[in-house]
Amino acid sequence: MTGSDSTERMAALWAQLRAAPPARLDQLFAADRARVAAMTRRIAWRSGLPEGAGQGMTIDFSKTHLDARLLDLFEELAEAAGFGAARAALKDGGIVNVTEGRPATHMALRGIGAPAAVEEAEALQRRMAMLVEAILEGALGPVRHCIAIGIGGSALGPALALDALTRDLKLVDTHVVSNIDGLALEAAFAACDPHTTLVAVASKTFTTIETMTNAASAMKWLADSGVADPYGRVVALTAAPEKAVAWGVDETRVLPFPESVGGRYSLMSSIGFPVALAVGMEEFSAMLAGARAVDEHFLSTEGRANAPLLAAFCDQYYTRLRGCQTRAVFAYDERLRLLPAYLQQLEMESNGKQVKADGSPVDGPTAPITWGGVGTDAQHAVFQLLHQGTHLVPVDFIASVAPGDDLDPAHHRILLMNCLAQGAALMAGKPSEDPARAYPGDRPSTTFLLDDADAAALGALIAFHEHRTFANAVLMGINPFDQFGVELGKAIAKQIEKGEGDFDPSTRALMQAAGLG
């Protein structure tokens, strides 16, 4: 099919999708007794950990509005968009990041892809494992604390994984600092003993102003605290190793990762070093094993059977056909409370675009705004709008069958009961004579039920959402691997710093009021 043939075919399919008569969720269930089975996917993995063998996650899409007819059309759409070829290019190291002329090799971190990329990833991972082991064995003296400095993709993944995985076991007490607001770094200083603290500077480019300023202040803190060789206490995690060396880090403590791994796709590269140090390499590898299981599912499963692709069909349906501007993610598990923040960057920085990969304008809304929180807290704060507000918000619920706590089982039972009750309530609604007390219902949700919220499940969830994001991008014709939209603000901040530039009257007045004029 030529480019214009495929564009025409896609336009025709969107027209058919728009014309499909919308059915209510209760009608969909009434029409198909096998709906739950037909719309539920299971992905299983072996984590490599003895107690983690044979785990997995179950994803129930049945409370979304997709039916067989819509799914047929979405499968045709994926075909017309060249999904199979795009997926193969992603795996094989094709130039999928066309605006920057690069492949996207995050799957190689899990052992999947072009042999050279996999070999490189494995070698870099062995190097990281050696350094982790050496540090845990005392090569740098006692290391009890780690201040992990980074921002965006160099912080959100490590913060999520550390928060999720260090509740029972913490080999090193780690504090992720991202904000340039000095209060963030001061809080980490207050929690750490400088004489037993390691500083991990995570930056793909090793130029990000927030990270480099925080890193310099951390060096000053160590020096002011009497640490003889502050730079000897630093590990650098970067795709620009020469810059880290020039900044003062000894080559032996620079852990590189490939340029072709995007920042928001980099947790499983050396950016994950603080996680590996805190939980050990075995747990870190379990995270990779969970991710790999999803990679294999994504690469080997076709059409609606492919869970991340099915999730992308849902995203496209709600965003483009039902006008949903947002999608919400609620983790009914304290261990995953940072997942919504992680997904915000992954999805919004990847697919919040106005042009397609070929530079032409997009033909509809792109990434919905990802937001969310933790259950049950969110029920007592924002769920009012989900149940009775005028916005239609597709919701993802994420819960673990196994509890993370050792308290009375009532805690976990109440957590799960509430999670399932919310999905049921959103769908069923409830009529009432009193309009203020009526619930319209027919509100969609997808439920992810993890066997356990452990390292493998976290890796699986991350890979799932990477592939969901990629599948959405293919369906929209977008390059999900660049992020030029973040550059203008950085450039203007530099102009403000230098006092150069032609600022608008409002910014000029604010600069003066803030003491920057």
Contact residues for ligand F6P, defined by CB under 6 A: 151-154, 203-205, 208, 211, 263-264, 349, 483, 486
Q: For the CB of residue 94, give the shortest distance to ligand F6P in the complex, in Å.
A: 21
* Adjacent-strand bridge partners of 45: 55
Q: For the CB of residue 228, give the shortest distance to ligand F6P in the complex, in Å.
A: 28
Alpha-carbon gap, residue 171 to 169, rounded angstroms: 6
Q: For the CB of residue 208, give the shortest distance to ligand F6P in the complex, in Å.
A: 3
Taking the least distance from each CB to ligand F6P, the nearer of 17 and 267 is 267
Q: For the CB of residue 342, give the shortest distance to ligand F6P in the complex, in Å.
A: 11
Q: For the CB of residue 99, give the shortest distance to ligand F6P in the complex, in Å.
A: 14
Alpha-carbon gap, residue 206 to 470, rounded angstroms: 26
Q: For the CB of residue 124, give the shortest distance to ligand F6P in the complex, in Å.
A: 16
Q: Which amino acid is at 479?
A: N
Strands in 173-177's sheet, in edge-to-edge order, are 173-177, 145-149, 197-202, 234-238, 254-256
Q: For the CB of residue 225, give the shortest distance to ligand F6P in the complex, in Å.
A: 26
Alpha-carbon gap, residue 157 to 153, rounded angstroms: 6
Q: Which amino acid is at 469?
A: T
**Angle of the 209-224 helix axis to the 182-191 helix axis, nearest 10:** 40
| DSSP structure string for 120-139 | HHHHHHHHHHHHHHHHHTTB
* Closest CA relative to residue 301, chosen from 43, 1, 35, 34: 43
* Closest CA relative to residue 201, chosen from 235, 229, 177, 246: 235
Residue 451 DSSP one-character state: S
164 contacts 335 by C-beta, under 8 angstroms: yes
Active centre residues (catalytic): 349, 380, 490
Taking the least distance from each CB to ligand F6P, the nearer of 424 and 486 is 486
Alpha-carbon gap, residue 362 to 85, rounded angstroms: 20
* Closest CA relative to residue 327, chosen from 317, 411, 171: 317
Structural tokens at position 339 = 């997942």
Taking the least distance from each CB to ligand F6P, the nearer of 30 and 486 is 486
Alpha-carbon gap, residue 327 to 138, rounded angstroms: 46
Taking the least distance from each CB to ligand F6P, the nearer of 98 and 114 is 98
* Closest CA relative to residue 211, chosen from 148, 159, 261, 161: 148
| DSSP structure string for 429-443 | -B--SSGGG-B----
Taking the least distance from each CB to ligand F6P, the nearer of 349 and 451 is 349
Cis bond leading into 205, ω under 30°? no
Taking the least distance from each CB to ligand F6P, the nearer of 67 and 349 is 349
Taking the least distance from each CB to ligand F6P, the nearer of 212 and 426 is 212
The residue to which tokens 């925080």 are assigned: 214
What residue ranges in 338-417 does DSSP mark as E strands?
A: 369-374, 395-400
Alpha-carbon gap, residue 182 to 383, rounded angstroms: 34
Contacts of 454 (CB under 8 A, 6+ apart): 47, 49, 52, 55, 165, 286
Q: For the CB of residue 178, give the shortest distance to ligand F6P in the complex, in Å.
A: 9
Structural tokens at position 435 = 């309009």
Taking the least distance from each CB to ligand F6P, the nearer of 85 and 246 is 246
